[in-house]
Amino acid sequence: MNNRILKYIALGGLLLNASACNDSFLDKAPTTTISEVTAFESYESAQAYMWPCYSLLYNTTIGTSVQEYGLVSMYRSDRNAGYLSNRDNDMNDYAFQELSPASSGNGWNFSWIYHINIMLRGLETSSMPQAEKDHWQAVGYFFHAYWYMELLNRFGDVPWIDHVIDPESEDAYGPRTPRDEVAHNILTRLQWAEQHIGDFTDRDGANSITKACVQLVLSRFTLREGTWRKYHGLGGEQEYLQECVRVSQELMQSYPTLYTGTQSYDAAGYGELWTSPSLAGVPGVILYREYVTGYLTSHFNFRERNDQMTMQLSQDMVDMYLTKNGLPIHNPNNTQYAGDSHDIYDVFKDRDPRLYQTVTPPYYINLNASGDIPEGMDESNIKWSYISAEQDPENYQKYRMYIDMLGADTYLGNPGQSGWMKRLPVANWSCDNIIDKVPNLKGNKAPLSTSSGYYLWKCYNCWEQSNNNAYVGDADKPIFKIEEVLLNYAEAACELGQFDQAAADRSINLLRARAGVAPMQVAQIDADFDPNRDKGNNAWWSGDMPDYEVSPLLWEVRRERIIELMGEGFGFYDVRRWAKAPYFVNRQEKGMWWNSADPVYRVNTNGILNESTKLKDETMTEGYIYVQPDPLLQGRGWIDQYYLYCIPTEELLLNDNLTQNPGWPSASSNE
């Protein structure tokens, strides 16, 4: 007997007895016990049986999941992709070949598949009305496909199980089903669910699986599978890309409005999707994780206010952000970018405001009353003041530039002021350690510190309560939102040669309008539009797959996706489906430009990168901060076996019909 399959069957049986009777999926804790005989005889019993499946939406095996805090959920995927790096020099496992073959786990899990199949079998003989049976079959297909999407993405060929397995049958020892068949099955199940899911939000709650959720996942899957097929040479991409365009357009019509937020600055709505007390009724939010004090809470804001948060962007990723005029920073006609002065304030000046919602902007203040007192601060408790003209007549205005933009946190309490989102200066979780200068380079104050100069503060806000190592955060977090669909549509249309100005206006330019960035003008995007475009001749490339040139238009579409979804866990899926992992993963990470003579940012414990030798150079007094070694210089770098995950060797021992993915050890290997 295949003990692994038996384990999944046993867990599926336990899940059969775990049901709930809640009106939303905020908490799916079981409250009743049911058997398969009675589980599917009424709408409510089927509902109770399926509630636990909602936990798949925040299962951290899936890179886009929102769970606990970013380091153990969506930030990890973007770090694997090379979009984010680690402050503490914990190097990227894929860049430095630190991955070990998996003996167990690694996402190879079919317990939820078994659980769902039990319901699908039960519905066949249920006496529920047909519309209700169709609805729950559609919900079952949705979750079945959602988990199989992850299995397919990780392993490629994977056993397809669409019925309850008899532990004595050969199915328990089945081989891997070819990717073509699995992908087709996922596609057809999502399409069936799209057509048959009912409108039962009056019984399931507004924040539950609906037709829009099915369509979003269909949009995500078809883009992912279509581009994987194209760039990995499998063929058959047209069907998936065309379906992505179709379903994305339909969903875009249903959600025509983007959230613009409560604050008055550009990109407020973009940032507030991750910092709002409630996402109920927020335009463009299709499904969200609801947090409520005393019921279900998170750790996001606390983590991003202390020294345990180590995620940051590199200089190369910051350079991906356009200026507000819609041009790449080194476009020949870009007169707006001033960052070549190497002044960190100029690097941020006039950039896409989504940067300010992602990376803490620079500032410098007094931690006393010696300068200009901020308007609205309690004069009996002055915690900080602006650098005044008397203190620094040359630089005092730039030191407060981004405080004026986002607003001054004059309260600095825990909890903070209701309605305040991102404000400056930043402080630790208890607000008793105010950071007087940002970038807060490693070696200065511990909370919110960075070795690159570009600290990730995506979920930081100024209203939410934080307690030391306690889960008290109650800002909701999005699971599915229309912004992803706009980007899916844009990319699929571009891959099909259908991306024109009208397509840009109905997708990317909606995102730019909210951010305060000039619209994309498709006719302007030529071979010279971005001198830093990936032209397919990268010295840091590794692996056997070809380093292809990305066309100017596709480069801009991909850029928009990277920027809009930064920190949301899509990165490792994207760089792998594009077959461009070495481009992002292998680049030596460097930080901001640093000058040892700078009177404010004097401390830099990481040293300076010599770009010629790619080593830390103790003799240099200015240059880009050295963040991590060059992986290729150490004989490492991305290897193509990483495109597919290792099938756990225990599984191969249990089932002789399973084969291993290329490059990973077989069951008999001694490696």
- pLDDT at 99 (0 to 100): 95
At 37 the pLDDT is 64
pLDDT value for 34: 55
User: What φ, ψ does residue 460 adopt, rounded to 5°?
Assistant: -70, 135
Pair 262, 256: CB distance under 8 Å: no
pLDDT of residue 126: 96
Residue 206 has pLDDT above 50, yes or no: yes
Other CB atoms within a 10 A radius of the CB of residue 469 amount to 10
Structure tokens at 594: 């640093």
Residue of 668 and 288 predicted with greater confidence: 288
Residue recorded with tokens 């007997």: 1
pLDDT, residue 669, reads: 57
User: How many residues can be counted in the chain?
Assistant: 671
Query: Could you tell me the CA-to-CA distances from 251 to 116, 125, 227, 239 in Å, in that order?
Result: 26, 33, 20, 18
Mean pLDDT of all residues belonging to the chain: 93
- For residue 146, the tally of other CB atoms under 10 A from its CB is 25
Q: Inform me whether the pLDDT recorded for 3 exceeds 60.
A: no
What's the average model confidence in pLDDT over 563-581? 99
Count CB atoms within 10 A of the CB of residue 81. 24
Q: At 146, is the secondary structure helix, strand, or coil?
A: helix
Whether the per-residue pLDDT at 2 is higher than 90: the answer is no
pLDDT at 299: 87
Q: What is the pLDDT of residue 15?
A: 40
3 state SS of 314: coil
d(C-alpha 438, C-alpha 304), whole Å = 14
Cα distance between residue 94 and residue 80, in whole Å: 7
Burial grade of 455 (CB within 10 A; 0-12, 13-18, 19 or more)? buried
What pLDDT, on a 0 to 100 scale, did the predictor assign at position 17? 39
100-154 pLDDT per residue, tens: 999 999 999 999 999 999 999 999 999 999 999 999 999 999 999 999 999 999 9
pLDDT of residue 68: 77
Residue whose entry in the numeric block shows the structure tokens 């977090």: 477
**pLDDT over 70 for what percent of the chain?**
94
CB 365 within 8 A of CB 436: yes
Enclosing H/E stretch for 133: helix 130-155
Q: Report the alpha-carbon distance of residue 137 to residue 122 in Å, rounded.
A: 10
Binning pLDDT at 50, 70 and 90, where does residue 171 land?
confident
Q: What is the mean pLDDT of residues 456-478?
A: 92
Q: Per-residue pLDDT tens for 453-462? A: 999 999 999 9
The answer to whether the beta carbons of residues 133 and 126 sit under 8 Å apart is yes
**504, 520 contact by CB (below 8 A):** yes
pLDDT at 35: 64
In angstroms and rounded to an integer, the radius of gyration of the C-alpha atoms of the chain is: 26
- What is the pTM (predicted TM-score) of this model? 0.94
* pLDDT score, position 166: 81
- Report the pLDDT averaged over residues 489-516: 99
- The stretch 238-256 carries a mean pLDDT of 99
**Chain-centre distance of CA 514, in angstroms?**
20
pLDDT score, position 374: 98
Residue whose entry in the numeric block shows the structure tokens 């430095």: 96
Q: Among candidates 517, 506, 518, which has minimal Cα distance to 482?
A: 506
Judge whether 357 and 348 are in contact, CB under 8 Å: no
Would you say residue 42 has pLDDT above 70?
yes
**d(Cα 439, Cα 103) in Å, to the nearest integer?**
42
Confidence band, pLDDT 50/70/90 cuts, at residue 323: very high
- What average pLDDT does this structure show over 601-620? 96
pLDDT, residue 668, reads: 63
Domains of the chain: 1-63+105-205 (1.25.40.890), 70-98+210-638 (1.25.40)
pLDDT-above-90 percentage for the chain:
87
Q: What is the mean pLDDT of residues 487-498?
A: 99
How far is it, in rounded angstroms, from Cα 335 to Cα 345?
A: 16
Among the residue ranges 318-327, 428-437, 468-477, 658-667, the one predicted with the least confidence is: 468-477
- Whose structure tokens read 């950039």? 351
> How far, in Å, CA of 499 to CA of 502, rounded?
8
Residue 469 — pLDDT band, cuts 50, 70, 90?
confident
| Main-chain dihedrals φ then ψ at residue 359, nearest 5 degrees | -120, 135
Q: What is the mean pLDDT of residues 299-317?
A: 93
Give the CA count within 13 Å in the CB-facing half-sphere of 412. 23
- Alpha-carbon span 559 to 525, nearest angstrom: 13
Contacts (Cβ under 8 Å, ≥6 apart) of 387: 364, 365, 366, 371, 372, 395, 396, 399, 400
